[in-house]
Structure 1
Amino acid sequence: MSLLDEVNEKRKEIRTDGYAMSISEWGSLYESKEIDIHPEFQRFYRWSDTQKTNLIESILLGIPIPPVFVSQRKDGIWDVVDGLQRLSTIYQFMGILKDENSNNVEPLTLSATNYLPSLGGKKWNNPDDENNSFSQELRLIIKRSKINVSIVLKESDETAKYDLFQRLNTGGSDLSPQEVRNCILVMLNKEFYNWLQSLASYPSFQECIALSERPLKESYDLELALRFLIFSDIDAEQLEKLGDVGIFITEKMRNIAINDDFDKVSWEALFKKTFDLLRDNLSDESFKRYSTDKQKFSGGFLLSQYEVVAYGVGYNLKNGNPVIDLRRKAAGIWSDQRYTDWSGSGITATRRLPRILPFGREVFDGNN
């Protein structure tokens, strides 16, 4: 098949439409529950009040707003693929935004800007303070302003909206890679997302990874839990064909989330057994560097140590092999050239994983 044939074939799989809609129409869609902005996403997007004010200022000044991308579900509801923060800011300012528990969110109070200093303290409508409320004329300017919508129609390939979401929210996005994956999971299988979140919140796991505040805010603990599900029992053939590891993790996540045969009960039991064992033997030293000179663990979390220890222990437990003498073995990998040669800086995960995962499985197999 030629490139042109491939293009023509794939273009048939993605059906789109688009037009301009007034903000008043966007508000009506939201209030009638004909659009799903996924309020769960609010925990991943972190616009400040200044950024929100800047959006309202842009609308007032007639500055074009980027289009909103939506995917039309089979029931006709629009899923917001890109533009959640823009829409939720507008809805919050108008006083109609609700959180994931369907409670009203505190209406937005604007800040002063360089162009419009009088915006400071203004609300959409404050019955107790008319001087700091938008006038009818200003509200109409907002309501009649238009934002373009691009729609991925329901006739499109089922995976199109997730591909689109990932493309629009990767690279220049403020979201971490796992926060993008979390959003995809919420749209794809919210029950699976909640289950993954429960794994990441497991006390033994949290104690062992001992992350600082910033990676926790960026959902790195969920990424580590997801990596355990993917890599602790991956076969050698897949390891040799990893390619970009970030893309590989996302694709495997999507496959697992829609797989009705994925045994969450067994995987949860393995996850808890693994990290209970690590907690009892290593606690917050589980994934730290070991100094052979000082004979102690120190420093922060190391992904390469996690890949050897967590996946190695998990693999052996899953396959019924005894796992013993954990502390000595975890310290011993730092004097083994098979680990030190492939865990240093400059070694990409694509090159590292096919070598240190089999190493970890061997080290923590109590039969050896």
Structure 2
Amino acid sequence: MTSLDKEIEQHKKEIHSDSYPMSIGEAVSMYINGEMDIHPEFQRVYRWTLPQKSKFIESILLGIPIPSFFVAQREDGVWDLVDGLQRFSTILSFMGELKNEDGEKLPPLALTKGGYLSELDGATWNDEEKISKPLKLSFRREKIDFKIIKKESTSDTKYDLFRRLNTGGSELSDQEVRNCLLLMTNREFYEWVIALSKNADFIETTPLSDDKYSEQYNLELLMRFIVFFTLDWSNVTSSTIDDIGEFLNDKIVALAKNTSFDTKIMNDTFSKSFQLINAALGSDAFRKFYPSDNKHKGGFSIALFEAISTGIARNISSISTTLDNSTLKKKIENFSVSPEFLSASGSGVRANSRIPKTVPHAIDYFKQ
């Protein structure tokens, strides 16, 4: 047996799976009875259009095969739906059974015409002129396949499955996947992050486009801040980070699982840091500074954000008591043109090469 054979055998022992086909009617009954959790809060991050939903329902009506649904079995026996959320939500919505986060039923989905069936236009589940009783029975009896990750699997399997199925060619952005991972891990932690993102000083110093907000990039910035603030930078190298998206996923989920993580201290540090940054430079805080013109130009810089926000936060006690707004403004501007920062953050430098240099430099630079 080769080393690879042994490694495969070991990891196979960590994953216990099964396959189970059932009718749509049975699956919907599981949802109604609380035996399947589709995480209604996830619906905020899925963006299927009405034509996409209609074509999916059309596929089922025509008997066109659809991909499997992936579920993870919890300790209480309930299935967590971790892939196929939009598809199953569309089925529930069409049948008038989809509930919002408050447990209230949402209005049934009214279809538009499909790629083949023009008569679907305006059809609803209770429209007997278009959706006849025999057609309803046929729809309920249509088989769908569930791949089940059993509760005997290791605790991280569910999160890893969701991440693997929803990254790389996914309709979700990296941050939207990260949001879902947090919701699956610790909903209270996720809601804390959302509340933190509404801080006025944070919003003022991170001016983002509507597209960036729609992709939840503001939450990615916030999670970078939280993760970078808590890291032991003496152990961080470019190989440690490798892929920044995966690195953030692992670290933020670990914090969400950490029962000793003090959100109150983080709240206080975050608020004080961005209050000082905003007072010093406002929306220019993370834009490139040009000494020759004595002004900031260009758009928001992720490299400046990572370094400056972490550097100030890690030294917040001394900075808040020793530096006035004018002095902090000059210190931030001088940092942005320092040789150490510029050499490590130039054009074409990857995040995993940049971050282990710029952030520790900032932490040392802002010491008082």
TM-score (norm. length: structure 1): 0.94
- Give the CA deviation at 1:320: 7.4
1:228 is matched with: 225
What is the aligned length?
362
2:286 aligned residue: 287
Give ranges in structure 2 of 5+ residues lacking alignment.
Answer: none
Q: Which residue of 2 aligns with 1:251?
A: 250
Partner of 1:63: 64
Q: Any idea what SS the aligned residue of 1:173 has?
A: coil
1:318 shift after superposition: 5.9
Letter aligned with residue 145 of structure 2: N
CA distance in structure 1 between the aligned counterparts of 2:319 and 2:288, rounded to whole angstroms:
28
Describe how 1:6-25 pairs up with structure 2 within 5 A.
Answer: 6-25=7-26
Query: Deviation at 1:322?
Result: 5.4
> Could you tell me how far 1:124 is from its partner in structure 2?
0.7
* Amino acid aligned to 2:331: K
Deviates more, 1:72-81 or 1:215-224: 215-224
Distance in 1 separating the partners of 2:56 and 2:219: 31
Aligned residue number for residue 102 of structure 1: 103
The 8 Å contact of residues 71 and 78 in structure 1, kept in 2 or not, is answered as yes
SS in 1 for 2:278: helix
String of CA shifts for 1:128-184, please: whole Å, max 9, x gaps: xx43x4111211221111110000001110100000000000011111111101101
SS of match in other structure, 1:232: helix
Question: Is this contact kept in 2: 1:291–1:298, CA < 8 A?
Answer: yes
Map 1:27-176 onto structure 2 (within 5 A). 27-126=28-127, 130-131=128-129, 133-176=130-173
Query: What amino acid is the match of 2:160?
Result: D
How far apart are the structure 2 equivalents of 1:64 and 1:226? 39
Equivalents in 2 of 1:340, 1:147: separation in Å? Answer: 55
Report how far residue 188 of structure 1 moved. 0.7
After TM superposition, give the deviation of residue 67 of structure 1 in Å.
0.4
Q: Distance in 1 between matches of 2:118 and 2:164?
A: 36
Secondary structure at 2:162 match in 1: helix
In structure 1, distance between residues paired with 2:303 and 2:337: 14
- In structure 1, give the amino acid aligned to 2:345: S
* Residue number in structure 2 paired with 1:203: 200
Give me the whole-angstrom Cα distance separating, in 1, the residues matched to 2:230 and 2:185.
24
Structure 1 residue 229: Cα displacement: 1.2
For 1:64, the aligned partner's letter is P
Q: 1:213: how far off?
A: 1.2
For the Cα contact (< 8 Å) 1:20–1:148, is it kept in 2? yes
Query: Displacement, 1:95?
Result: 0.4
Q: For residue 29 of structure 1, what is the amino acid of its counterpart?
A: M
Secondary structure of 2:241's partner?
A: coil
Larger displacement relative to structure 2 (88-97 or 256-265): 256-265
Percent sequence identity over matched residues?
Answer: 43
Secondary structure, in 3 states, of the residue corresponding to 1:193? Answer: helix
Q: Could you tell me which of 344, 347, 360 is aligned with 1:345?
A: 347
Q: Displacement, 1:335?
A: 2.8
Q: 1:323 to 1:302 in 2, by over 3 A?
A: farther
Distance (whole Å) between structure 2 residues aligned to residue 314 and residue 345 of structure 1:
26
Shift of the 319–59 alpha-carbon distance from structure 1 to 2, 3 Å rule, reads farther
Q: Secondary structure at the match of 1:154?
A: coil
Q: Deviations over 1:314-358 (max 9, x none)?
A: 111167785632211222234322222222221011100111112
Contact 2:276–2:320, Cα closer than 8 Å, also in 1 = no
CA–CA distance in structure 1, aligned partners of residues 233 and 85 of structure 2? 40
The whole-number CA distance in structure 2 between the counterparts of 1:190 and 1:271 is: 20
For 1:106 and 1:50, the matched residues in 2 are separated by 17
Task: Say which SS state the counterpart of residue 27 (structure 1) adopts.
Answer: helix
- How far apart are 1:300 and its partner, in Å? 2.1
3-state SS of paired residue (1:282): helix
What is the RMSD computed on CA atoms of the aligned residues?
1.6
Work out the CA distance in 1 between the residues paired with 2:210 and 2:281.
Answer: 21
Once residues 108 and 341 of structure 1 are traced to their aligned partners in structure 2, the CA distance between those partners, rounded to angstroms, is 55
Distance 1:323 1:215, change over 3 A: farther
Matched, 1:215 2:212: yes
Query: 1:323 & 1:51 partners in 2: Cα distance?
Result: 57
Q: Distance in 2 between matches of 1:336 and 1:81?
A: 46
Are residues 237 and 364 of structure 1, via their aligned partners in 2, closer, same or farther at CA, if it must alter by over 3 Å? closer
After superposition, where does 1:313-352 map in structure 2 within 5 Å? 313-317=312-316, 324=323, 325-352=327-354
Q: TM-score, normalised by structure 2?
A: 0.94
The structural deviation recorded for 1:123 is: 0.7
Q: 2:10 and 2:322 mapped to 1: Cα distance? A: 51
Tell me the amino acid that sits aligned with residue 159 of structure 1: D
Q: Which moved more, 1:159-168 or 1:356-365?
A: 356-365
Cα deviations by residue, 1:3-33 (Å, 9 ceiling, x for unpaired):
2122111111111111211100111011111
Distance in 1 (alpha carbons) for counterparts of 2:332 and 2:234: 26
